[in-house]
Amino acid sequence: MLGRLNHVAIAVKDAEKAAKIYGAAFGAEISKAVPLPEHGVTTVFVTLPNTKIEFIEPLGDTSPIAKFLDRNADGGIHHVCYEVADIVASRDILIGEGARVLGDGEPKIGAHGKPVLFLHPKDFSGALVEIEQA
Ligand code: CO
């Protein structure tokens, strides 16, 4: 069920500024900023040969990453995203194994136009997990 590591997300106050450092220092390919109002973040992706780094900054007054940035003023690793073949089937297996799905449990469209879900960090060794249908 567990597929490729799609991305590692780093929460920051300014995603474009953070990504530009990767562009300058590593010569990495940087995406345009994409606002995702439904998720309360703006994302900028850095493309690596085998995965991506997703910089996320708060969007709107009720961003789910606002508290994280209060605790981590310099930014920090926020979540890891794994690909799955069938997100609903994966969700149902995970729930059957006792994992908690965040929000209303229904997949939302993520930054790549594909359905995503978030899983409770307490069920995954303290790391917030996103799954994305590949
Ligand atoms: Co993500």
Q: pLDDT at residue 3 above 90?
A: yes
> CA 91 to CA 103: how far, in whole Å?
13
What contacts 132, CB < 8 A, 6 or more positions away? Answer: 6, 81, 82, 83, 84, 87, 110, 112, 114, 115, 116
Ligand 1 geometric centre to CA of 8 (Å): 7
Ligand 1 geometric centre to CA of 98 (Å): 22
State pLDDT tens for residues 83-126. 999 999 999 999 999 999 999 999 999 888 999 999 999 999 99
HEC string for 12-81: CCCHHHHHHHHHHHHCCEECCCEEECCCCEEEEEEECCCCEEEEEEECCCCCCCHHHHHHCCCCEEEEEE
Q: Indicate if the alpha-carbon torsion angle 105, 111, 115, 117 is positive or negative.
A: negative
Burial class of 122 by CB neighbour count within 10 A (0 to 12, 13 to 18, 19+):
exposed
Instruction: Write phi, then psi, for 78 (nearest 5 degrees).
Output: -105, -45
pTM for the model stands at: 0.93
Q: What is the pLDDT of residue 1?
A: 86
Ligand 1 geometric centre to CA of 46 (Å): 12
Q: pLDDT at residue 73 above 90?
A: yes
> CA 12 to CA 66: how far, in whole Å?
10
Q: What is the pLDDT of residue 61?
A: 85
Tell me the mean pLDDT in the region 4-12.
98
Mean pLDDT (the chain, rounded):
95
Ligand 1 geometric centre to CA of 12 (Å): 13
Q: Which domains are assigned to the chain?
A: 2-133 (3.10.180.10)
Q: pLDDT at residue 71 above 90?
A: yes
Place of tokens 């439904």: 38
Annotated catalytic residue within 57, 83, 130, 132: 130
State pLDDT tens for residues 20-67. 999 999 999 999 999 999 899 999 999 999 999 999 999 998 999 999
Pick the closest to residue 31 from 41, 18, 43 (CA basis): 43
- Active site (annotated) includes residue 16: no
